Structure 1
Amino acid sequence: MRKITLIIAIVFIWMSNTNAQSKRLLFKTAFGEFKVVLYDFTPNHRDLMLKSIKDSVYQGALFNRIIENFVVQGGEHDIDIEKKEAADPQHRKPRLAAEFDQRAFHKMGALGAGRDGNPEKASFLNQIYFVVGKKVSSAELDGLEIKKGIKYGKEQREEYLLRGGQPRLDQDFTVFGEIYQGLDVILKISRSKTDQQDFPLEKVPFSIVEIKE
């Protein structure tokens, strides 16, 4: 009975958090569609995503790095970004400053921004990923708190222990949204066959539209 009560409480909290946010997106893929909410408490990443959609950055884009039980990554690939920046005579490396918030963490279905190894942990402008993590134990969370010097709150612990995720990425990569409908679609995509560099053997295109309600 206590377990059922706990699950109901977690679902209620999750629904309250997602319903409070103002911007939502629809991702269209050959595997199906899924819906994403953008967090208002990571406003710069939210606004960049909305601008990118209007600029058609993600129309006909690809999920081009797929690792089962880890992430499904799309948009510009690290290799292409490196080549473009290396060819720039002004040596520009545009990034978006990190936005870390206790409410934004790497739960299953979390939407994050990719980045390189820059010390500021700033995000690439046109690369996103979805968490398709794995089960997490209380001991793992305890160890990560010590290793990373962070503290997981009650909601985070309950979510990770109930559904899993990738907590080792917390406070290193910006999370700015999450899937609230159609998580099964991204899980199907995560099981796509890939080569040794994690490129899917068959292209996985996607497009995004803003949901107007």
Structure 2
Amino acid sequence: MKKIFIVITSLIVLIAISGPVYGFIKNALPEKVYKKPVVTIVVEDYGTITVELDPNIAKNTVDNFLMYVQDNAYTGTTFHRVIEDFMIQGGMVDVSKCPIKGEFSANGVENNLSHEAGVISTARTNDPNSATSQFFIMHKTNTGLDGNYAAFGKVVTGLDIVDQIAVVNTTTSDTPVEDVVISSITVDLNGYKPGTPKCAN
């Protein structure tokens, strides 16, 4: 009887110990940290803008953008909407893929990258899940966009090029009078392995 009591007591102690230890080990596992790819945007007659993308903040948005980059879809497109002291917008391709879910807090996704000068973000319609190929680069900081648009990287060199583009002459619809042509956008993945973008629907 005494031996049975000891065995039962030992089992209870073992269960009591193993539960918290398992929980500790599980909670101690670090979140995966993705390497950051860098894209090079060559703008005809202006120069080069390099942008570091951050899949740790908005992975699906980064993967979506890189899909268009690797398909050479942006070659020959333009920065078709320019507003000084706000942003320059480009990426209107001939054929866009499926829209993706907007990775920002108003759409239920945490995104702590603020829309300061040089940040790249996704353009969309009033539908929060309508982003496809179009993107914009902030000319000046506008935190009013935070939580409502999916920022996914930041300019590391070429802010002066953004400044030059931002002050071109435009029509009343914010379209440059003379085309601002994107000669190419290429990527150095830096070891990052992009996945297939997940469609919104």
**Counterpart amino acid of residue 33 in structure 1:** T
**Secondary structure of 1:179's match?**
strand
Name the residue aligned to 1:115: 124
Residue 154 (structure 2) pairs with residue 178 (structure 1): yes
**Contact 1:40 / 1:46 at 8 angstroms: preserved in 2?**
yes
Residue 2 (structure 2) pairs with residue 25 (structure 1): no
**Counterpart amino acid of residue 186 in structure 2:** V
Percent identity between the two aligned chains? 28
Name the residue aligned to 1:68: 84
Q: Compared with structure 1, are the counterparts of its residues 132 and 123 closer, same or farther at alpha carbon in structure 2 (3 Å cutoff)?
A: farther
Shift of 1:57: 1.2
Name the residue aligned to 1:99: 103
C-alpha deviations, 1:136-165, integer Å up to 9, x for none? xxxxxxxxxxxxxxxxxxxxxxxxxxxxx0
Q: Compared with structure 1, are the counterparts of its residues 193 and 76 closer, same or farther at alpha carbon in structure 2 (3 Å cutoff)?
A: same
**Contact 1:27 / 1:35 at 8 angstroms: preserved in 2?**
yes
Q: Compared with structure 1, are the counterparts of its residues 45 and 62 closer, same or farther at alpha carbon in structure 2 (3 Å cutoff)?
A: same
C-alpha deviations, 1:89-138, integer Å up to 9, x for none? xxxx94210112443120100000000011xx1242110000112xxxxx
**Secondary structure of 1:61's match?**
coil
* Greater share of residues in helix: 1
Question: For this pair of structures, how many residues does the alignment match?
Answer: 149
Name the residue aligned to 2:166: 190
Q: Unaligned stretches of 5+ in structure 2? A: 1-33, 105-109, 191-201
Residue 144 (structure 2) pairs with residue 128 (structure 1): no
Name the residue aligned to 1:54: 70
CA distance in 2, matches of 1:212, 1:173: 24
CA distance in 1, matches of 2:66, 2:133: 11
**Contact 1:123 / 1:173 at 8 angstroms: preserved in 2?**
no
TM-score if structure 2 supplies the norm length? 0.69
TM-score if structure 1 supplies the norm length? 0.65
Q: Unaligned stretches of 5+ in structure 1? A: 1-19, 85-92, 134-164
CA distance in 1, matches of 2:178, 2:111: 37
Any runs of at least 4 consecutive aligned residues in structure 1 with deviations exceeding 4 A, and if so which? Answer: none
**Secondary structure of 1:187's match?**
helix
Name the residue aligned to 2:51: 36
Name the residue aligned to 2:193: none
Name the residue aligned to 2:178: 202
**Counterpart amino acid of residue 96 in structure 1:** I
**Contact 2:111 / 2:151 at 8 angstroms: preserved in 1?**
no
**Contact 2:36 / 2:189 at 8 angstroms: preserved in 1?**
no
CA distance in 2, matches of 1:196, 1:21: 41
CA distance in 2, matches of 1:94, 1:28: 26
CA distance in 1, matches of 2:116, 2:148: 14
**Counterpart amino acid of residue 210 in structure 1:** V
C-alpha deviations, 1:43-94, integer Å up to 9, x for none? 10111111111112111110000000011000128xx99xx9xxxxxxxx94
User: What value does the CA root-mean-square deviation take over the aligned residues?
Assistant: 2.2
Instruction: Please identify the structure whose Cα radius of gyration is greater.
Output: 2
**Counterpart amino acid of residue 37 in structure 1:** E
